[in-house]
Amino acid sequence: MRIISGKHRGRVLASFQGAEIRPTSDRVKESLFSILSARIAGARVLDLFCGSGALGLECLSRGAKEVIFNDLSRESLALLKKNLALLKEQAIVQNYDFETCLKRAEGKFDIIFIDPPYAQQYCERALTLIYERQLLEEGGLVVYESERVAEVSPRGMVLQDERSYGRTKLFFFGREEV
């Protein structure tokens, strides 16, 4: 696992051993950040199921103003902190379940990553909380990664795009404009 672009380009990150944790592949990350590239500089980002932190760290490398990392797993957060230290980056690191994180979040975000374990389906609940708490900036995006088709239609959010990369599917949601 490595940083693709920005000031930390090419840096190899510490990653999980074994097959239990599924980091976003470099191929998917390259495609995702090609789509997001114009939105990252100066952005406020929430990495809701951060794991090793690869997505949020990529944003920091590309000039995001602030990244908040959240994960329920202490093992994931220990690995994230190791990667933050490796890159000499500062960030807010939280240890909450996704609902608590969204309920406690302050301010609005330009990008929110939702990349839960594939066996879990948190998309609709997370999008509903994001809408209810008005956590997404106007023109902001929620990026949901899954291996299943996102058959959700939460109030106030619209599916703007979706992409498939083998088993991995990326769904891009934005605020419904009235």
Q: pLDDT-based confidence at 147, cuts 50/70/90? A: confident
Of 28, 17, 72, residue with least CA distance to 50: 72
| Strand ranges for the chain from DSSP E | 44-47, 66-70, 92-94, 109-114, 136-146, 157-165, 168-175
| pLDDT of 167 higher than 70 | yes
Indicate the pairing of strand 168-175 with strand 136-146. Answer: antiparallel
Indicate the pairing of strand 92-94 with strand 66-70. Answer: parallel
Higher pLDDT, residue 122 or 100: 100
Its pTM stands at: 0.93
The pLDDT tens digits for 52-99 are 899 999 999 999 999 999 999 999 999 999 999 999 999 999 999 999
Q: pLDDT-based confidence at 146, cuts 50/70/90? A: confident
| pLDDT of 21 higher than 60 | no
Extract the tokens encoding 157: 């959010």
What does the pLDDT read at residue 118?
65
Q: Are 3 and 84 in contact (CB under 8 A)?
A: no
Side-chain half-sphere exposure of 28, counting CA atoms within 13 A: 23
Which phi-psi region, left, alpha or beta, contains residue 92 (left: φ > 0; alpha: ψ -120 to 50)? beta
Q: Are 23 and 52 in contact (CB under 8 A)?
A: yes
Whole-number average pLDDT of the chain:
90
Neighbours of 176 (CB within 10 A): 11
Of 115, 140, 125, residue with least CA distance to 53: 115
Angle at 114 between CA 17 and CA 150, to 5 degrees: 110
